[in-house]
Amino acid sequence: MRDPSPLLASRPSRRYLNPSHKPAWYAARQKTITRAQKRVERRLWPIFGLAFAFDRRIDLDAAFGRSAVDRSALVLEIGCGSGEALCSLAASHPDADFVGVDWFRGGLAAAMQGLDEAGAAANARLVRADAATLLRDGLEARRALDEVLVFFPDPWRGSEGRRIVRPEVVQSLSPLMQDGGRLHLATDVEGYADEARAVLASCCDAEARWEEVACDCCLPRPSTKYERDGIAAGRGVNDVCWRFVRGSVVRGCGD
Ligand SMILES: C[S@@+](CC[C@H](N)C(=O)[O-])C[C@H]1O[C@@H](n2cnc3c(N)ncnc32)[C@H](O)[C@@H]1O
Protein backbone atom coordinates (compact mmCIF):
# COMPACT_ATOMS: atom_id res chain seq x y z
CA MET A 1 0.00 0.00 0.00
CA ARG A 2 1.41 3.41 -0.93
CA ASP A 3 1.63 6.21 1.60
CA PRO A 4 -1.60 8.19 1.91
CA SER A 5 -1.37 11.52 0.14
CA PRO A 6 -0.89 14.64 2.22
CA LEU A 7 -3.36 16.29 -0.18
CA LEU A 8 -6.25 14.17 1.01
CA ALA A 9 -8.47 16.13 3.34
CA SER A 10 -9.46 14.44 6.59
CA ARG A 11 -13.03 15.54 5.94
CA PRO A 12 -14.77 17.33 3.05
CA SER A 13 -13.23 20.78 3.06
CA ARG A 14 -15.31 23.93 3.35
CA ARG A 15 -14.37 24.65 -0.24
CA TYR A 16 -15.77 21.27 -1.26
CA LEU A 17 -18.99 21.81 0.63
CA ASN A 18 -19.47 25.44 -0.29
CA PRO A 19 -17.04 26.42 -3.03
CA SER A 20 -16.75 30.12 -3.63
CA HIS A 21 -16.26 29.65 -7.37
CA LYS A 22 -19.43 27.95 -8.52
CA PRO A 23 -19.68 27.45 -12.24
CA ALA A 24 -22.42 29.63 -13.69
CA TRP A 25 -24.30 26.61 -14.96
CA TYR A 26 -24.65 25.06 -11.51
CA ALA A 27 -27.59 27.23 -10.48
CA ALA A 28 -29.96 25.04 -12.40
CA ARG A 29 -28.56 21.74 -11.11
CA GLN A 30 -29.42 19.61 -8.11
CA LYS A 31 -28.53 21.38 -4.88
CA THR A 32 -29.71 18.89 -2.30
CA ILE A 33 -27.85 15.90 -1.00
CA THR A 34 -29.38 13.09 1.06
CA ARG A 35 -28.28 12.12 4.57
CA ALA A 36 -27.01 8.80 3.25
CA GLN A 37 -24.86 10.64 0.69
CA LYS A 38 -23.50 12.90 3.44
CA ARG A 39 -22.54 9.83 5.47
CA VAL A 40 -20.73 8.44 2.42
CA GLU A 41 -18.88 11.76 1.99
CA ARG A 42 -17.78 11.80 5.63
CA ARG A 43 -16.51 8.22 5.42
CA LEU A 44 -14.95 8.18 1.98
CA TRP A 45 -13.92 11.72 1.00
CA PRO A 46 -10.79 11.42 3.19
CA ILE A 47 -9.80 8.41 1.07
CA PHE A 48 -10.78 9.49 -2.44
CA GLY A 49 -11.09 13.27 -2.34
CA LEU A 50 -8.54 15.75 -3.62
CA ALA A 51 -9.01 19.31 -2.40
CA PHE A 52 -9.11 21.91 -5.16
CA ALA A 53 -7.96 25.38 -4.18
CA PHE A 54 -7.09 28.29 -6.44
CA ASP A 55 -3.87 29.08 -4.66
CA ARG A 56 -2.40 25.57 -4.99
CA ARG A 57 -2.37 23.26 -7.99
CA ILE A 58 -3.05 19.58 -7.30
CA ASP A 59 0.09 17.47 -7.63
CA LEU A 60 -1.21 14.14 -8.95
CA ASP A 61 2.08 12.31 -8.40
CA ALA A 62 1.87 13.25 -4.72
CA ALA A 63 -1.82 12.33 -4.63
CA PHE A 64 -1.12 8.80 -5.83
CA GLY A 65 2.26 8.38 -4.25
CA ARG A 66 3.79 7.30 -7.58
CA SER A 67 4.96 8.98 -10.75
CA ALA A 68 4.93 8.20 -14.47
CA VAL A 69 7.78 5.69 -14.14
CA ASP A 70 5.76 3.53 -11.73
CA ARG A 71 2.33 3.69 -13.38
CA SER A 72 1.16 2.54 -16.80
CA ALA A 73 -1.02 5.62 -17.38
CA LEU A 74 -2.57 8.69 -15.78
CA VAL A 75 -6.21 9.03 -16.82
CA LEU A 76 -8.62 11.92 -16.19
CA GLU A 77 -12.38 11.52 -16.59
CA ILE A 78 -14.16 14.83 -17.11
CA GLY A 79 -17.76 14.74 -15.84
CA CYS A 80 -17.45 11.33 -14.16
CA GLY A 81 -20.99 11.58 -12.74
CA SER A 82 -21.70 8.63 -10.44
CA GLY A 83 -18.44 7.01 -11.50
CA GLU A 84 -19.76 4.00 -13.37
CA ALA A 85 -16.98 4.05 -15.98
CA LEU A 86 -14.31 5.25 -13.54
CA CYS A 87 -14.97 2.41 -11.06
CA SER A 88 -14.84 -0.24 -13.75
CA LEU A 89 -11.63 1.12 -15.30
CA ALA A 90 -9.85 1.70 -11.97
CA ALA A 91 -10.68 -1.83 -10.82
CA SER A 92 -9.53 -3.45 -14.06
CA HIS A 93 -6.34 -1.36 -14.44
CA PRO A 94 -4.64 -1.25 -11.01
CA ASP A 95 -1.37 -0.33 -12.74
CA ALA A 96 -2.91 2.99 -13.94
CA ASP A 97 -4.06 6.01 -11.90
CA PHE A 98 -7.51 7.56 -12.45
CA VAL A 99 -8.90 10.97 -11.52
CA GLY A 100 -12.58 11.83 -11.91
CA VAL A 101 -13.84 15.40 -11.87
CA ASP A 102 -17.45 16.50 -11.51
CA TRP A 103 -19.38 19.20 -9.78
CA PHE A 104 -22.45 17.14 -8.92
CA ARG A 105 -22.12 16.26 -5.23
CA GLY A 106 -24.65 13.41 -5.26
CA GLY A 107 -22.87 11.83 -8.23
CA LEU A 108 -19.50 12.12 -6.49
CA ALA A 109 -20.92 10.42 -3.38
CA ALA A 110 -22.05 7.51 -5.55
CA ALA A 111 -18.63 7.47 -7.24
CA MET A 112 -16.84 7.30 -3.86
CA GLN A 113 -19.02 4.39 -2.81
CA GLY A 114 -18.45 2.58 -6.10
CA LEU A 115 -14.68 3.09 -5.93
CA ASP A 116 -14.64 1.83 -2.36
CA GLU A 117 -16.57 -1.31 -3.36
CA ALA A 118 -14.26 -1.77 -6.34
CA GLY A 119 -11.22 -1.69 -4.06
CA ALA A 120 -9.74 1.29 -5.94
CA ALA A 121 -8.41 3.26 -2.95
CA ALA A 122 -4.84 3.10 -4.27
CA ASN A 123 -5.43 4.23 -7.85
CA ALA A 124 -8.53 6.45 -8.02
CA ARG A 125 -9.20 9.98 -6.80
CA LEU A 126 -12.04 12.49 -7.19
CA VAL A 127 -12.07 16.26 -7.48
CA ARG A 128 -15.16 18.42 -7.05
CA ALA A 129 -14.72 21.27 -9.49
CA ASP A 130 -15.86 22.80 -12.73
CA ALA A 131 -13.70 20.82 -15.13
CA ALA A 132 -12.89 23.88 -17.27
CA THR A 133 -11.57 25.71 -14.19
CA LEU A 134 -9.67 22.67 -12.94
CA LEU A 135 -7.88 22.27 -16.28
CA ARG A 136 -7.03 25.96 -16.44
CA ASP A 137 -5.97 26.56 -12.82
CA GLY A 138 -6.03 23.40 -10.78
CA LEU A 139 -3.59 20.70 -11.92
CA GLU A 140 0.15 20.42 -11.55
CA ALA A 141 0.21 17.89 -14.37
CA ARG A 142 2.31 19.41 -17.13
CA ARG A 143 2.65 16.88 -19.94
CA ALA A 144 1.42 14.14 -17.62
CA LEU A 145 -2.04 13.01 -18.80
CA ASP A 146 -2.03 9.84 -20.90
CA GLU A 147 -5.75 9.71 -21.48
CA VAL A 148 -8.71 12.03 -21.00
CA LEU A 149 -12.22 10.61 -21.04
CA VAL A 150 -15.33 12.62 -21.83
CA PHE A 151 -18.20 10.15 -21.74
CA PHE A 152 -21.72 11.38 -22.47
CA PRO A 153 -21.07 15.03 -21.63
CA ASP A 154 -24.08 17.25 -21.04
CA PRO A 155 -25.48 18.44 -24.35
CA TRP A 156 -26.46 21.90 -23.05
CA ARG A 157 -29.06 22.01 -25.77
CA GLY A 158 -29.57 25.56 -26.95
CA SER A 159 -26.40 26.65 -25.17
CA GLU A 160 -23.52 25.09 -27.11
CA GLY A 161 -21.10 27.60 -25.54
CA ARG A 162 -21.35 25.61 -22.32
CA ARG A 163 -20.34 22.31 -23.90
CA ILE A 164 -17.15 20.99 -22.34
CA VAL A 165 -15.36 20.38 -25.66
CA ARG A 166 -14.79 23.99 -26.64
CA PRO A 167 -11.65 25.83 -27.74
CA GLU A 168 -10.70 27.45 -24.43
CA VAL A 169 -11.04 24.14 -22.57
CA VAL A 170 -8.92 22.30 -25.15
CA GLN A 171 -6.31 25.09 -24.95
CA SER A 172 -6.10 24.50 -21.18
CA LEU A 173 -5.91 20.74 -21.68
CA SER A 174 -3.11 20.69 -24.27
CA PRO A 175 -0.20 21.64 -21.95
CA LEU A 176 -1.30 18.91 -19.54
CA MET A 177 -1.18 16.17 -22.19
CA GLN A 178 1.59 13.68 -22.58
CA ASP A 179 3.01 13.54 -26.09
CA GLY A 180 0.90 10.81 -27.70
CA GLY A 181 -1.84 11.13 -25.03
CA ARG A 182 -5.40 10.39 -26.08
CA LEU A 183 -8.75 12.10 -25.74
CA HIS A 184 -11.85 9.89 -25.96
CA LEU A 185 -15.29 11.44 -26.47
CA ALA A 186 -18.45 9.34 -26.41
CA THR A 187 -21.75 11.06 -27.11
CA ASP A 188 -25.30 10.33 -28.15
CA VAL A 189 -26.01 13.98 -28.92
CA GLU A 190 -26.50 14.63 -32.59
CA GLY A 191 -23.79 16.86 -34.02
CA TYR A 192 -21.60 16.88 -30.87
CA ALA A 193 -18.90 14.61 -32.35
CA ASP A 194 -18.58 16.73 -35.50
CA GLU A 195 -18.56 19.92 -33.46
CA ALA A 196 -15.77 18.44 -31.30
CA ARG A 197 -13.81 17.51 -34.45
CA ALA A 198 -14.01 21.14 -35.55
CA VAL A 199 -12.96 22.39 -32.12
CA LEU A 200 -9.91 20.09 -31.98
CA ALA A 201 -8.92 20.98 -35.54
CA SER A 202 -9.04 24.65 -34.56
CA CYS A 203 -6.67 23.94 -31.64
CA CYS A 204 -3.86 22.56 -33.83
CA ASP A 205 -0.83 24.67 -34.72
CA ALA A 206 2.83 24.25 -35.74
CA GLU A 207 3.77 23.16 -32.19
CA ALA A 208 1.14 20.52 -31.55
CA ARG A 209 -1.96 18.95 -33.00
CA TRP A 210 -4.85 16.61 -32.24
CA GLU A 211 -5.03 13.68 -34.72
CA GLU A 212 -8.15 11.58 -34.93
CA VAL A 213 -7.25 7.91 -34.30
CA ALA A 214 -9.07 4.59 -34.06
CA CYS A 215 -10.69 4.06 -30.69
CA ASP A 216 -8.74 0.88 -30.03
CA CYS A 217 -5.84 3.26 -29.26
CA CYS A 218 -7.81 4.15 -26.09
CA LEU A 219 -8.90 2.19 -23.04
CA PRO A 220 -12.04 0.17 -23.80
CA ARG A 221 -15.02 2.31 -22.74
CA PRO A 222 -17.24 0.65 -20.13
CA SER A 223 -20.98 0.96 -20.76
CA THR A 224 -22.81 3.46 -18.54
CA LYS A 225 -26.42 4.28 -17.79
CA TYR A 226 -26.22 7.23 -20.17
CA GLU A 227 -25.24 4.99 -23.05
CA ARG A 228 -28.01 2.50 -22.21
CA ASP A 229 -30.58 5.31 -21.92
CA GLY A 230 -29.48 6.77 -25.25
CA ILE A 231 -29.71 3.42 -27.01
CA ALA A 232 -33.11 2.69 -25.40
CA ALA A 233 -34.34 6.05 -26.73
CA GLY A 234 -33.15 5.13 -30.24
CA ARG A 235 -30.13 7.44 -30.31
CA GLY A 236 -26.84 6.39 -31.90
CA VAL A 237 -23.63 6.51 -29.87
CA ASN A 238 -20.54 8.09 -31.40
CA ASP A 239 -17.08 7.31 -30.02
CA VAL A 240 -14.32 9.57 -31.32
CA CYS A 241 -10.66 9.45 -30.23
CA TRP A 242 -7.77 11.80 -30.84
CA ARG A 243 -4.07 11.61 -30.12
CA PHE A 244 -2.17 14.68 -28.98
CA VAL A 245 1.09 15.06 -30.91
CA ARG A 246 3.81 17.58 -30.20
CA GLY A 247 5.97 18.50 -33.17
CA SER A 248 5.51 16.93 -36.58
CA VAL A 249 6.41 13.23 -36.14
CA VAL A 250 3.68 10.86 -37.38
CA ARG A 251 3.37 7.70 -35.26
CA GLY A 252 1.32 4.52 -35.09
CA CYS A 253 -1.10 3.62 -32.32
CA GLY A 254 1.30 1.64 -30.14
CA ASP A 255 4.30 4.01 -30.51
C1 LIG B 1 -24.66 13.06 -18.60
S2 LIG B 1 -23.59 12.91 -17.21
C3 LIG B 1 -22.47 11.62 -17.73
C4 LIG B 1 -21.75 11.01 -16.57
C5 LIG B 1 -20.70 9.93 -16.92
N6 LIG B 1 -19.66 10.45 -17.78
C7 LIG B 1 -21.33 8.71 -17.51
O8 LIG B 1 -21.16 8.44 -18.72
O9 LIG B 1 -22.01 7.99 -16.75
C10 LIG B 1 -22.59 14.39 -17.41
C11 LIG B 1 -21.85 14.74 -16.11
O12 LIG B 1 -20.94 15.79 -16.41
C13 LIG B 1 -20.94 16.71 -15.32
N14 LIG B 1 -20.47 18.00 -15.85
C15 LIG B 1 -21.00 18.74 -16.84
N16 LIG B 1 -20.28 19.84 -17.07
C17 LIG B 1 -19.26 19.80 -16.16
C18 LIG B 1 -18.16 20.65 -15.86
N19 LIG B 1 -17.98 21.79 -16.54
N20 LIG B 1 -17.33 20.31 -14.87
C21 LIG B 1 -17.51 19.17 -14.17
N22 LIG B 1 -18.52 18.31 -14.40
C23 LIG B 1 -19.38 18.63 -15.39
C24 LIG B 1 -22.36 16.72 -14.83
O25 LIG B 1 -22.45 17.17 -13.48
C26 LIG B 1 -22.74 15.24 -14.99
O27 LIG B 1 -22.45 14.50 -13.82
CATH 3.30.70.600 assigned to 25-246:
no
Q: Please, which pLDDT band fits residue 4 given cuts at 50, 70 and 90? A: very low
pLDDT over threshold 60, residue 253: no
Ligand 1 test: best mutation among 80, 112, 137, 151, most atoms within 8 Å of CB? 80
Q: 186 alpha carbon to ligand 1 midpoint, in Å?
A: 12
Q: Please, which pLDDT band fits residue 44 given cuts at 50, 70 and 90? A: very high
**Which atom of ligand 1 has the smallest separation from the CA of 227?**
8
What is the spatial distance between Cα 50 and Cα 125, in angstroms, rounded to a whole number? 7
pLDDT in tens, 139-174: 998 889 999 999 999 988 777 778 999 999 999 999
What percentage of the chain reaches a pLDDT higher than 90?
75
Measuring CA to CA, how many Å separate 218 from each of 43, 80, 95, 97, 237? 33, 17, 15, 15, 16
Q: Please, which pLDDT band fits residue 6 given cuts at 50, 70 and 90? A: very low
Q: Whose C-alpha lies nearest to ligand 1, atom 4?
A: 81
Q: Quick one: pLDDT at residue 1?
A: 45
Q: Quick one: pLDDT at residue 24?
A: 58
| Domain assignments of the chain as residue spans, ordered by start | 25-246
**Average pLDDT value for residue range 74-100:** 98
What is the spatial distance between Cα 39 and Cα 216, in angstroms, rounded to a whole number? 39
pLDDT in tens, 178-221: 999 999 999 999 999 999 999 999 999 988 999 999 999 999 99
Q: 152 alpha carbon to ligand 1 midpoint, in Å?
A: 7
Q: 153 alpha carbon to ligand 1 midpoint, in Å?
A: 5
